[in-house]
Amino acid sequence: MFDIIKKLAQTYGPSGNEKKVAEAIIEMVKGKVDEIKTDPLGNLICVKKGTGGTGKKIMLAAHMDEIGVIVSHIDDKGFLRFSNIGGLPPHVILGQRVVFENGTVGVIWYEEDTEDKKNVKLEKMYIDIAAGSEKEAGNHVKIGDMAVFAADTISQNGRVISKALDDRVGCAVLVQLALNEPKTENDIYYVFTTQEEVGLRGARTAAFGIVPDMALAVDVCDTGDTPNCKPMSVRLGEGPTVKIKDSSVISHPMVKDRLIDAARKNNIPYQLEVMLRGGTDAGSIHVTAGGIPSGGVSIPTRYVHNTAEMVDINDVENAVKLLEAFVK
Ligand code: CO
Ligand code: ZN
């Protein structure tokens, strides 16, 4: 499981540039699913037909894209100005290392005369790629190129620390589930979506194309178990969550109840999730194609949208078990 998470987390894939992640996933699941296709927005759809051909269509969605930065200007000294791809808290990216698709590394810093350093705006920040001039910088990057956090993936005390666990850990859960080949009469659509971080975009067209009977977003959620954090009843290591609500969806009662049933009957630990901020692919799936009963299973994750996010490997493994019980 850790190896799958690490491989996917270390693959380059900011929103709109998820191709390498899709290729890595195809390598992992080919032979274990009946059909693999990519739709016009880049969503990777892997279908496992149910036994008997009488079952329902269940869509499981995890997004392939990760947050990052996009180059908007190169100045005459070779410094890059940039905008965000997805939600980037400015004060946490200061001093971070980023890497472009071609391997070019940059350091994010800010104009030294910035007065309110706590509320520094992206406009006051720049990326230094160790170039001495606009021309030299232009040899490595151009306007519109995207970079992602450069940070490794490690395992320690049963927990994983890595960049991009949002949502490569969700992709890893779906890959592992596909490898387990759960026996069910239902058709399972493993959907690896694009452009979630910029507005849940890929999932919308994927769901419209499939029109599933039921859908789950498999993503990360915040926790409420770190010093002096906001109150939230989710803790690392106490099980995957059954989503009740986030800012994009109120889970369908039938979907939510089935998940809870599946967890109880199989003695799988779970937690109930009410996420105060942030949405998931379920947000766009449930309002597609006449309406699709949707919900979510999340991996409790500390420090979401930072260079070092943290999950507990037991939660990841239990998420696989929970989904396996659910699709049956
Ligand atoms: Co995210
Ligand atoms: Zn996510």
Residue 156 placed within a domain: no
Give the helix/strand (H/E) hosting 19: helix 19-29
Strands (E), 145-262: 146-149, 154-156, 159-162, 187-193, 214-221, 241-245
Active site residues: 196
Which ligand ends up closest to the CA of 280? 2
* Three-state secondary structure call for residue 99: strand
Confidence at residue 118, expressed as pLDDT on a 0 to 100 scale: 75
Confidence at residue 180, expressed as pLDDT on a 0 to 100 scale: 97
Residue 6 placed within a domain: yes
* Three-state secondary structure call for residue 24: helix
Strands 214-221 and 294-300: parallel
Measured CA angle at 290 (ends 86, 166), to 5 deg = 25
Q: Are residues 77 and 196 in the same domain?
A: no
Q: Are residues 290 and 183 in the same domain?
A: yes
CA of 91 to the centre of ligand 1 (A): 17
Strands 80-85 and 68-74: antiparallel
Confidence at residue 131, expressed as pLDDT on a 0 to 100 scale: 97
pLDDT, averaged across the chain: 96
Residue 158 placed within a domain: no
Of residues 261, 224, 92, the one with CA closest to residue 163: 92
Give the helix/strand (H/E) hosting 260: helix 253-265
CB count within 10 Å of CB 313 equals 17
Q: Do 100 and 145 form a contact (C-beta atoms < 8 A)?
A: yes
Q: Are residues 216 and 308 in the same domain?
A: yes
Residue 46 placed within a domain: yes
Mean pLDDT of 316-326: 98
| Residue 79 DSSP one-character state | P
* Three-state secondary structure call for residue 64: coil
Of residues 172, 171, 190, the one with CA closest to residue 182: 190
CA of 85 to the centre of ligand 2 (A): 13
Of residues 11, 315, 298, the one with CA closest to residue 163: 11
CA of 39 to the centre of ligand 1 (A): 22
Residue 157 placed within a domain: no
Q: Are residues 131 and 280 in the same domain?
A: no
Q: What is the CATH number of the domain that holds 279?
A: 3.40.630.10
Q: What is the DSSP string of 119-135?
A: G--GGGEEEE-S-SSHH
pLDDT tens-digit profile of 18-64? 999 999 999 999 999 999 999 999 999 999 999 877 789 999 999 99
CA of 60 to the centre of ligand 2 (A): 14
Which ligand ends up closest to the CA of 198? 1
Which are the contacts of 62, defined by CB distance < 8 A and separation ≥ 6? 167, 170, 171, 173, 174, 191, 192, 193, 217, 218, 219, 281
Number of domains in the chain: 2
Q: Which residues pair with 17 in a beta bridge?
A: none
Strands 35-38 and 44-48: antiparallel
pLDDT tens-digit profile of 223-242? 999 999 988 999 999 999 99
Which ligand ends up closest to the CA of 67? 1
Q: Are residues 76 and 51 in the same domain?
A: no
Q: What is the CATH number of the domain that holds 72?
A: 2.40.30.40
Residue 184 placed within a domain: yes
Confidence at residue 171, expressed as pLDDT on a 0 to 100 scale: 98
What's the chain's Rg over C-alpha atoms? 20
Q: Are residues 61 and 73 in the same domain?
A: no
Q: Are residues 74 and 192 in the same domain?
A: no
Confidence at residue 288, expressed as pLDDT on a 0 to 100 scale: 95
CA of 87 to the centre of ligand 1 (A): 7
Which ligand ends up closest to the CA of 305? 1
Kindly state the tokens that stand for 134.
Answer: 């606009």
Mark which of 149, 172, 193 sits at the end of a domain.
149
Kindly state the tokens that stand for 26.
Answer: 């195809």
Which ligand ends up closest to the CA of 220? 2
Residue 308 placed within a domain: yes
Single-letter amino acid code for the residue at 35: E
pLDDT tens-digit profile of 241-289? 999 999 999 999 999 999 999 999 999 999 999 998 899 999 999 999 9
Determine what percent of the chain falls in helix, strand and coil, rounding each to the nearest 5.
30, 30, 45
Confidence at residue 142, expressed as pLDDT on a 0 to 100 scale: 97
Residues in the chain: 328
Q: Are residues 101 and 206 in the same domain?
A: no
Domain enclosing residue 129, as ranges? 68-149
Q: Is the peptide bond preceding residue 167 cis, with omega within 30 degrees of 0?
A: yes
Q: Are residues 108 and 37 in the same domain?
A: no
Residue 155 placed within a domain: no
* Three-state secondary structure call for residue 202: helix
Q: Are residues 115 and 167 in the same domain?
A: no
Q: Do 203 and 189 form a contact (C-beta atoms < 8 A)?
A: no
CA distance 297 to 318: 11
CA of 167 to the centre of ligand 2 (A): 5
CA of 149 to the centre of ligand 1 (A): 13
**Ligand 2 is an ion; residues with CB less than 5 A from it:** 166-167, 219
Q: Which residues pair with 300 in a beta bridge?
A: 221
Q: Do 75 and 134 form a contact (C-beta atoms < 8 A)?
A: yes
CA of 96 to the centre of ligand 1 (A): 18
CA of 220 to the centre of ligand 1 (A): 8
Task: Specify the pTM.
Answer: 0.96
CA distance 294 to 298: 13
